[in-house]
Amino acid sequence: MTQTFPIEALKKKATPYYYYNIELLRQTLDAVKAEVSKHDNYFVHYAIKANANPVVLKPIMKAGLGIDCVSGGEITASLKAGFPADKIVFAGVGKADWEIEMGIDNNIFCFNVESIPELEVINEIAQRKGKVVNICLRINPNVGAHTHANITTGLSENKFGIDMAHMFDVIKMANEMSNVSFQGLHFHIGSQILEMDDFIALCHRVNELQDKLDAQGIKVKIINVGGGLGVDYDDPIGNPLPPLKEYFDVYNTHLKLRAGQELHFELGRAIVAQCGSLITKVLYMKDNTNKKFAIVDAGFTELIRPALYGAHHKIMNLTSNGPQDTYDVVGPICESSDTFDTDIKLNEVRRGDLIAMLSAGAYGEAMASCYNCRKLPKGYSSEDIMAE
């Protein structure tokens, strides 16, 4: 399927806004399900941090995926969207007491615990409530990933997870606590990873740790390898689906699961990135001596990835067939970093043209801010847009 835009319908909405191609989302979900259904012990939790708009949550929930949350607000959004509590996993280095209470009160499936003090607090709160809660320990595997430094999480210098050297002590502590039930190990090495070798390195690390656990007679029911699978930002039209088969095959080939073990995944970007585009309008054209600026009405308030991670989102002029020229596409925010891309080729850009920034379904709307007292962008499903 190729990404097409219902241009006349898009013109009717006030810009800037997010447009979600639900048909492409469904195709992506079908492809995920096709891979996962080859194994009766594989479970995928959608990482809701990537996008919590109800129009994307609905098809994801209907596809039967679980959900990965990192805040009380995300738990609320998941429950509201209809995800069953027993498919919610809850990670994060800084869970507040109220968020832990909320998870316990709603009987979520599992807490992914990131430190000893957090483990103690969860046990204490669960005790107060007379409950026993499932926990996995998030282990920092010290495995690097070929991605932007800001989205690498699995190195020992990163704040995430429990040091491998402390794994046995923490398992022992958890097993001695009365109100937590130790279920397994959780990992996550980073995001926008397209080199399968990085995931293979994680598999090898998990295998090593499992060998050590076996030697101590410790049984683990759950292995959760997090998310991180990347998408093609350079050619989203030609390559709208992430390399799901390669990704799941890596785990099937390289991870040595023990009998009865479940393998959990937490995919965010791979599921929603390509279905979303930021739609913005050209406010002004400005010709300087060396540059042609297309000043659009979206800024890093709507899509912060280029400013924060140096990301490049493919940009298309939806309403022009004019001769190509070279432009810098910039927003209205009062900071030089409010630049979507520089020296890119676009069909002749004029005031009023509609511009699409592709692959923006993940970490786009979800990371929007109100800087400069701007309004948060709306996000519309293709189905709603077409029905109007």
Residues that bind ligand LLP (CB under 6 A): 47, 50, 68, 91, 151, 153, 188, 191-192, 226-229, 266-270, 305, 309, 362-363
User: Alpha-carbon torsion 161, 165, 171, 177, what sign?
Assistant: negative
Q: Which of 52, 15, 47, 18 is nearest to 276 (CA)?
A: 18
CB of 185 to ligand LLP, least distance (A): 13
CB of 309 to ligand LLP, least distance (A): 5
- Helices H, strands E: what count in the chain? 12, 17
**What's the rounded Cα separation, in Å, for the pair 302 and 316?**
17
Residue nearer to ligand LLP on the CB measure, 138 or 374 = 138
Concatenated DSSP letters for 83-122? --GGGEEE--S---HHHHHHHHHTT-SEEEE-SHHHHHHH
Residue nearer to ligand LLP on the CB measure, 65 or 91 = 91
SS3 of the chain: helix, strand, coil, percent, to 5: 35, 25, 40
CB of 49 to ligand LLP, least distance (A): 6
**What's the rounded Cα separation, in Å, for the pair 139 and 155?**
10
Q: Which of 231, 215, 238, 255 is nearest to 3 (CA)?
A: 238
CB of 345 to ligand LLP, least distance (A): 25
Alpha helices in the chain (DSSP H): 7-11, 22-36, 54-62, 72-81, 97-105, 116-128, 167-176, 196-215, 244-254, 269-272, 305-309, 382-387
CB of 210 to ligand LLP, least distance (A): 20
Residue nearer to ligand LLP on the CB measure, 7 or 149 = 149
CB of 224 to ligand LLP, least distance (A): 9
Asked if 159 and 195 count as a contact pair (C-beta separation under 8 A), the reply is no
CB of 190 to ligand LLP, least distance (A): 7
Residue nearer to ligand LLP on the CB measure, 186 or 374 = 186
Other C-beta atoms closer than 10 Å to the C-beta of 216 total 9
Residue nearer to ligand LLP on the CB measure, 184 or 228 = 228
Q: C-alpha angle with apex 308: 305 to 310, nearest 5 degrees?
A: 75
CB of 129 to ligand LLP, least distance (A): 25
Residue nearer to ligand LLP on the CB measure, 268 or 379 = 268
Residue nearer to ligand LLP on the CB measure, 206 or 346 = 206
**What's the rounded Cα separation, in Å, for the pair 199 and 333?**
38
CB of 50 to ligand LLP, least distance (A): 5
Residue nearer to ligand LLP on the CB measure, 85 or 93 = 93
Other C-beta atoms closer than 10 Å to the C-beta of 177 total 18
Residue nearer to ligand LLP on the CB measure, 75 or 267 = 267
Asked if 164 and 141 count as a contact pair (C-beta separation under 8 A), the reply is yes
CB of 96 to ligand LLP, least distance (A): 17
Residue nearer to ligand LLP on the CB measure, 229 or 356 = 229
